[in-house]
Amino acid sequence: MIEDIELETLINEVYEYYGFDFGSYSRASLKRRVNRVMHLDGFTHFHEFLSRVRYDPEYYKRMVDEITVNVTEMFRDPSFYAVVRNEILPLLGTKPFIRLWHAGCSTGEEVYSMAIMLKEAGLLHKSLIYATDINSTVLETAKKGIFPLRMMKEYSENYRDAGGQEDFSNYYIANYGIAKFNEELAEKMVFSQHNLVSDTSFNEFDMILCRNVLIYFDNDLQKRVINLFDESLAVLGFLALGTKETIKYSVTPNKYKQLDKEKIWRKVK
Amino acid sequence: MEESKIISGCKVVIIGGSAGSLNALMQILPELPELKGFAIVIVVHRKSTDDQTLEELIALKSSVSVKPVEDKVPLLPGFVYVAPSNYHLLFEKNETLSLDISEKINYSRPSIDVSFESAAEIYGESLVGILLSGSNTDGTYGLKTIQAAGGTIVVQNPLAADMPFMPHNAILNTQPDFVLDNNEILKFISTINT
Ligand SMILES: C[S@@+](CC[C@H](N)C(=O)[O-])C[C@H]1O[C@@H](n2cnc3c(N)ncnc32)[C@H](O)[C@@H]1O
């Protein structure tokens, strides 16, 4: 493992050279990720790694892509999606127009899951789904809607457990180990780079989903990001976080009301 | 076991296990007296569907209190924490726990190696690592990191384990401070910081 002081040096240099602030990221995970990328790329000395990051912007980009954790799934936590399908979409459906934001969307599996549910609820045509991440490489994948074919068995089970009744394989075309999702699903998606650390609110939404992103941030940054969501959420809109994340320490308690046991809160005032 | 060796200055006891470890945990945890100045963190491989059941079982059967693990919860002495399924459990300098959803390690998330190594980084000498029953190699590397950081390592006697492979692998590849049966593990934990 690299030393703590080395990690802090890297954080400072990255900020100085590239303006990206990892200073509020959880150190335990960040340290593992930096170690991992150094190891993957064959660096034995931290100072060699550091000077490469400094002087080679291409390599800096690779490092950022590798230290962000991009693991994601379709219909991960089926009970969460069941609540969205059964309780939230009917409420959103009464609006003339529905705006959603997936913050930290990674390769887009969640975004396509949401589009499938909106389509089945007959709401996709009047929805707009913004999907953002800092990692531009994952956004490229997300735009294409191409996911590994070997995952489809698990995803179709998740889909079913989340209340899906269609034949899941109708949503994609299988080809040489990949599953290409129907382009119709992507028609209402807008992908763009957005940094939760430094970028501001850019619209007002009826639902914001940011799952398993806050776990990589320290308490202060979590609070700031939840404030950003609060500013970006319409009254009576919904905020959804990962199963082990909470808004409890970040907003005034009676402003939000939690739904069931899921990590979904409705902004009540 | 050197009966006289009592561990002092311990802040965290981290217990890892896989297949068959539930039995051992259920023999040990319900019998534990109040934890004196340290917390117990349990990292076991399990299906995501029975996420709550282990906590409930422990809460039901034992007098030590279980705190549910959410991201960034403070790690307080006197309580038992159980790593949630589908996340790696990591330790932060300010004595909070954080969660991470990165790739599985040893086909596992949570991985015992990942949590042991992270705890060793933060707690060093004030950490005790215990590895129980299981049928893969997760945990061995983690025990090494705990020992290298000055902590104490304990392995369940493979003869007492439902699945001996995991403790056996650890014994072959590390020098455990203690190799103990379930009731000896219970005694060992009960005397920590006394
Ligand atoms: C584990 S993924 C979560 C994917 C998906 N939401 C899920 O739960 O399955 C975390 C994502 O957060 C992104 N991320 C990390 N820091 C970010 C930041 N400052 N701004 C925006 N996205 C960020 C990462 O690039 C990564 O794609």
pLDDT at A267 over 60: yes
Nearest by CB to residue B70, choosing from A33, A69, A246, is: A246
The residue ranges of every structural domain in chain A are 4-67, 78-267
Q: Is the pLDDT of residue A172 over 60?
A: yes
Looking at the partner chain, which of A31, A71, A244 has a beta carbon nearest the beta carbon of B84?
A244
What pLDDT, on a 0 to 100 scale, did the predictor assign at position B5? 61
Looking at residue B81, what is its pLDDT?
96
What pLDDT does B48 receive? 65
Residue A132 pLDDT level (bands cut at 50, 70, 90) = very high
Q: Whole-angstrom Cα distance, residue A91 to residue A93?
A: 5
- B1 confidence band (pLDDT: 50, 70, 90): very low
> What pLDDT is attached to residue A261?
85
Going by C-alpha positions, the residue among B134, B132, B130, B82 that lies closest to residue B108 is: B134
The larger pLDDT score, comparing residue B131 to residue A248, is at: B131
A5 lies within 8 A of chain B by CB: no
pLDDT of residue A44 exceeding 60: yes
**Which residues' Cβ are closer than 6 Å to ligand 1?**
A 68-73, 76, 104-106, 110, 133-135, 138, 195-197, 211-213, 216, 242; B 101
Asked whether residue B51 carries a pLDDT value surpassing 90, the answer given is no
**SS3 state of residue A188:** coil
Residue B65 has pLDDT above 50, yes or no: yes
- Beta strand A264-267 with A256-258 is antiparallel
Query: Average pLDDT for residues A11-21, to the nearest whole number?
Result: 97
In this prediction, residue A252 has a pLDDT band, given cuts at 50, 70 and 90, of confident
Q: Locate tokens 């072959």: which residue?
A: B172
Q: What is the pLDDT of residue A248?
A: 86
Cα of first residue to Cα of last residue in chain B, in angstroms, is 18
Domain A78-267 has CATH 3.40.50.2300: no
Q: Is the pLDDT of residue B4 over 70?
A: no
pLDDT at B3 over 60: no
B133, B164 in Cβ contact below 8 A?
A: yes
3-state secondary structure A126-183: HEEEEEEECCHHHHHHHHHCEEEHHHHHHHHHHHHHCCCCCCHHHHEEEECCEEEECH
Q: Is A29 on the interface with B (CB under 8 A)?
A: yes
What number is the average pLDDT over the span A118-140?
97
Which residue has 């300010």 as its token pair? B94
Residue A103, helix vs strand vs coil? strand
Residue B88 is a catalytic residue: no
Strand B88-91 to B97-100 pairing: antiparallel
Tell me, yes or no, if B138 is annotated catalytic. Answer: yes
Catalytic residue among B21, B85, B88, B138: B138
Centre of ligand 1 to C-alpha B118, Å, is: 22
Alpha-carbon distance B181 to nearest alpha carbon in chain A (angstroms): 33
Q: What percent of chain A has pLDDT over 70?
A: 100
pLDDT digits (tens, 9 = 90+) for A60-79: 999 999 999 999 999 999 99
At B147, the pLDDT band (50, 70, 90 cuts) reads very high
Provide the 8-state DSSP code for B71: T
Cα angle B30, B36, B38 (rounded to 5 degrees) comes to 90
pLDDT for A213: 98
pLDDT in tens, B23-35: 999 999 999 999 9
In this prediction, residue A224 carries a pLDDT of 96
Residue whose CA lies nearest to ligand 1 atom number 9: A72
Q: What is the mean pLDDT of residues B40-52?
A: 81
Check CB contact under 8 Å for A222 and B91: no
Give the pLDDT of residue B155.
98
Report the complex ipTM.
0.94
**Cα separation, B112 vs B96, whole angstroms:** 18
- In chain A, positions 228-257, which contact chain B (CB-CB < 8 Å)? 242-246
Are the Cβ atoms of B92 and A219 closer than 8 angstroms?
A: no
Q: Once rounded to an integer, what is the mean pLDDT over residues B110-123?
A: 98
Q: Please report residues of B whose CB lies closer than 8 A to that of A32.
A: 90, 100, 102, 114, 118
User: pTM for the full model?
Assistant: 0.95
pLDDT at B49: 60
Mean pLDDT of B26-48: 92
- A199 CA → ligand 1 middle, Å: 14
Structural domains in chain B? Answer: 12-20+32-116+132-189 (3.40.50.180)
Mean pLDDT within B31-41: 95
User: Can you spell out the DSSP letters for A15-67?
Assistant: HHHH----TTB-HHHHHHHHHHHHHHTT--SHHHHHHHHHH-HHHHHHHHHHH
List Cβ neighbours of B151 (8 Å cut-off, separation of 6 or more): B120, B123, B124, B125, B126, B127, B128, B129
pLDDT at A18: 96
d(CA B137, CA B103): 17
Choice from A213, A214, A217 to test ligand 1 binding pocket (greatest atom count within 8 A of CB): A213
Q: What is the mean pLDDT of residues B8-36?
A: 94
Q: Measure CB to CB from residue A245 to each of B71, B100, B118 and give the nearest one.
A: B71
Q: Average pLDDT in the A180-185 region? A: 97
pLDDT of amino acid A25: 98
What three-state secondary structure class fits B40? strand
Q: Which residues pair with B25 in a beta bridge?
A: none
Q: Which residues of A touch B91 (CB under 8 A)?
A: 28
